[in-house]
Structure 1
Amino acid sequence: MELFWIPLAALVIDAIFGDPRSFPHPVQLIGSMLNRLEKTTRKNFPNRLGGVLSLLILLLLVFIAVSFFIDLPYVGWVFALYFAWSGLALGSLLNEGTKAVQAVSSGSIEEGRKAVSMLVSRDVSESSEEELYKTLAETLSENFNDGIIAPFFWLILSGPVGLWLYKATSTMDSMWGYKNEKWIDLGWAGAKFDDLLAYVPARFSAMFLQSTANLAGLGSGRGAWDSVARDAAKMESPNAGWPMAMAAHLYGRPMGGRAVYFGKIKEKPVLGAGDEAWDHHSLIQLIKHIRLAAIFGCGLMWLIVTLLRLVF
């Protein structure tokens, strides 16, 4: 019964209220665990082996902790709902994205850069207004999968425990997954496992954006899939390019190109064939589109899994 109603309840609560702010967020606790694991493993193991061991230890601790709380008599369902709610990021993504768009359009360029820098890991200290809008479009579309579709996918398949095993892996990848000398070996295991867990949801996320294109005022989106698949294959990640490329093609506005990470310029693959620049109007439309696609996609996944459970 909990797998029946908790995912929908968590999605509604998250869409309305965003992340819980009155309690310590599980991601913060996972981040603290990763910081401790980094210090220990770097001292005692080669980085590649240390990364593998850190991932296994992290997943074991998360499994034990979440299982313990949701199995408590009488109050287990409360913890299950909390873990499900806190593992989704629809409300926070759209709220913070909207604030950043407003800061770019109505504030000074410095205010816009500061707002966008809170949402991305790249350096935007010298970005133009047009570049800030494009950066926001990229992070919103990529996090449509990472923050909504993928965690909900694992929630309906395996409950809060499965969701938080995914979130722990994703957090490890976010903190350790940089492809530079410091992290390339230590973050290898987390990055590879995150690629595996997000593989199917990433393609679903592109499908849900395409399926709701008409509702978002973008036409049918027919014929975009082959182009999206070609563009997504250009990316280093096997998953990130799918929702990004779909948004780029549906809106006729490119993503990718030059970006600065840790003081180094990186030329990312260009996604999409359009030549219009991202602007305030298209970002607000994208935010509304993501909300529609999330409701449609999560509802569809929940319905299919629920029917399969009833049949089998």
Structure 2
Amino acid sequence: MTTMPFDALACPLDGCPLVPSEKTWRCENGHSFDVARQGYVHLLPVQKKRTLDPGDSKEMVAARQRFLSAGFYTKIAEAVSDLALKALAGERVGSVLDAGSGEGYYLRHLSAMASDTSLALIGVDISKWAVLAAAKQDKQTRWVVGSNANLPVMPESLDLVLCLFGFPVYSEFARVLKPGGQVIQVDAGADHLRELREIIYPELKPPGANEGLAPEGFRQRDSTVVRFPLALPDQNSIGDLLAMTPHLYRATSKGLEKAAALESLNVTVDVVLKRLEKG
């Protein structure tokens, strides 16, 4: 197995191919993007940012890194890697993009599992703190600050897109995937972290209707539920889990106080893995 950085990058300003030199990536129109000392490249132009520092904060990234490194979501990572390798079966070199890659946990796990498959990997996240953390841990993957709404890669250059607890932009996924390319998507199920949500919210909203229709341009190959009990042994692990989810900002102050008072908590992990194929 060989893991290498994915190289078919596109200029985020004009879509032209980017060509690497020593410490920059440059397109034919003269747009140039520096490679950071840690090895990542920033391809989110300031005019395409909605805020000065978009995405997860440095503190949120650190909390996610601690939580995932502790192995709490290993079963999810194993399921994603198994499905990804199934999707890439038969490819000489499987090109994979993680859209919303965070600090790189799932791509690192996939790389470690791919004993018989060569991979060209790229992780894209809108948070520079997440990409920085990923680049520090893994030099065999291309790490990019960028947006799912404007993925900085060339059309039809990828075999597989991962979108794990993220924000899918199916039109962009369809643009960058090869014909027959696939998407693996992970979303929270109805009971995901229910016990924590019951503590931090006055009442739980009923789950939204799942129409079960594949997005335009795709057909659904399969769907799998990963469900297991998870014991959070201390306040640190509870706090890290809360900090890496949107619930940190959605919960009431009273709910957050209740969570901060917990010494341990048993929660249900309930996620849905969907595999879509570009039509």
The structure with the greater share of residues assigned to strand is: 2
The structure with the greater share of residues assigned to helix is: 1
Verify same fold: TM over 0.5: no
TM range (shorter): under 0.3
Normalised TM-score (structure 2): 0.24
